[in-house]
Amino acid sequence: MSDNTFFLKGDVCWSSSSFSIETAENSYLLCLKGKTGGVFKEIPESYTHLPVKNYSGKLIIPGLTDLHIHAPQFAFRALGMDMELLEWLNEMAFPEEAKYSDIEYAGEAYGRFIEHIRKGPNTRLCVYATIHTGGTLLLMDMLEKSGLVSLVGKVNMDRNCPDYLKESETAENWLDLFFKREKEKRYKNTAPILTPRFIPACSDELLKSLAGLKSKYGLPLQSHLSENRREVEWVRELCPKSESYAAAYDDFSLLGGDSPAIMAHCVWPEESEMDILADRGVYIAHCPDSNMNLSSGIAPVRRLMDRGILMGLGSDIAGGAHTSIFRAMTDAIQVSKLHQALVAHNEKALTLEEAFYLGTIGGGSFFGRLAGKTSGNGVGPAGSFEPSWDFDALVINDDVFGTPPGKKIKDRLERVIYLSDDRHIIGKYVRGIPLIQLPKE
């Protein structure tokens, strides 16, 4: 596949909008130097010289994006699931994250995390590391080598946390080291994202310093918002001058600006907060698995989407137990049905089309909105097969699920979403580069 330009042949399926799924049976998906060139029933004459990877009878869909994942927590996923958020942080998350001061431990743990993600359906991820500069840079190096596209953040926190996890190395020091490495052209797929853990763990001085870095470098930012009722009340006490939790971030100029922000969860948003999120172009990372496991609640996704708020899906490992964004799609549909039945009887539950959109274009479009130095590696939006979008694609053998012959492509996609595991992925391409390719060429 010379020059990163080729065709994949198979049953192609992608979102064209949040309410529509496009399908093209036995068709050709063009990759042009790592970008999508379109979907064709027959190969155009000008491209007949290009190689074709034949996946006839298999599904070809866009790669999935995880907008919210904690890499150091992978080591204890599926543990402590009977706790609520704040107890879980103190009992499970913080002690594990402290171990990443040991660079050898960090390397071994991050290696297991990355190998797992490479085998799954996610091609892009927005990642929390820990407070440790060395471990964060190591994670960035390892993710770059993996071929996955990622935004990685050194976590910042300096209050209401154990002393062993309080800020000792600044985000600016981490960024200085990163940009020195970037000048050596070490990164094509990996870039930094500012990562205050959440308002309760960050002093006013720390938030002001991060706002300065966001403005200076045009960097994106990720954090948590309105995940848990106790957390929301805590923020009211800590930030009495701010009208709401979202307003507290906004008051420090951490939302909007030259590049976007991701706020995870938003389970308990107020009306005024939804206005802020919509006005500032903030992305919400909806994490239904985590919200269930940590007793946080059910995010009002229908109301958020109706407001025009940008949204994708997150695994939130290890609050969530499953890394696959296919699983997040399933959970998003199911919890929205519970929300409709128990809370908002007049609100429509999420559809298959909407969940698929959130896991593909919803999260993948975030990468097309990056500004400043983060966009210097040429990473563009993903999650669609629209021309010029980054070529992130999955090839899926749904025969492993006993799919009867003659099923419509959309029906096959629905089965994949609900039954998904790693066995069915026989091809995985990120920006046109194969990470998984079976059978071998």
Q: What is the pLDDT of residues 415-434, one digit of tens each?
A: 999 997 778 999 999 999 99
Res 188 pLDDT > 90: yes
Region 230-247: what's the mean pLDDT?
Answer: 97
**72 with 96: CB under 8 angstroms?**
yes
- DSSP at 364: H
Res 2 pLDDT > 70: no
- Tell me the pTM: 0.97
Res 373 pLDDT > 80: no
Same fold: 2-63+383-437 with 64-377: no
Question: Would you kindly state where each structural domain of the chain is located, as residue ranges?
Answer: 2-63+383-437, 64-377
Res 371 pLDDT > 90: no
pLDDT value, residue 15 = 96
What are the Cα distances from residue 394, in Å, to 92, 119, 150, 279, 319? 34, 11, 17, 34, 26
Q: 437 or 416, which is more confident?
A: 416
Rounded to the nearest integer, the mean pLDDT of the chain is: 95
pLDDT value, residue 284 = 98
pLDDT value, residue 196 = 98
For the chain, percent of residues with pLDDT exceeding 90: 90
pLDDT value, residue 1 = 42
**Quick count: other Cβ atoms within 10 Å of Cβ 11?**
23
Please, what is the Cα angle at 97 between 92 and 100, to 5 degrees?
150
Q: Model confidence over 82-125: pLDDT tens digits? A: 999 999 999 999 999 999 999 999 999 999 999 999 999 999 99
Residue with tokens 């908002």: 344
**72 with 130: CB under 8 angstroms?**
yes
pLDDT value, residue 404 = 85
**Whole-number Å distance between alpha carbons of 387 and 393:** 13
**Whole-number Å distance between alpha carbons of 292 and 32:** 41
**Which residues are within 8 A (CB) of 209 and not within 5 positions of it... i.e. 6 or more apart?**
170, 171, 172
Residues 2-63+383-437: name the CATH superfamily.
Urease, subunit C, domain 1 (2.30.40.10)
**189 with 392: CB under 8 angstroms?**
no
Residue 365 banded pLDDT, cuts 50, 70, 90: very high
Res 372 pLDDT > 70: no
Judge if the upstream peptide bond of residue 200 is cis by omega within 30 degrees of 0. no
Region 349-366: what's the mean pLDDT?
Answer: 98
Q: Which fold has domain 64-377?
A: TIM Barrel (3.20.20)
Q: Model confidence over 34-93: pLDDT tens digits? A: 999 999 999 999 999 999 999 999 999 999 999 999 999 999 999 999 999 999 999 999
Region 218-232: what's the mean pLDDT?
Answer: 96
Res 205 pLDDT > 90: yes
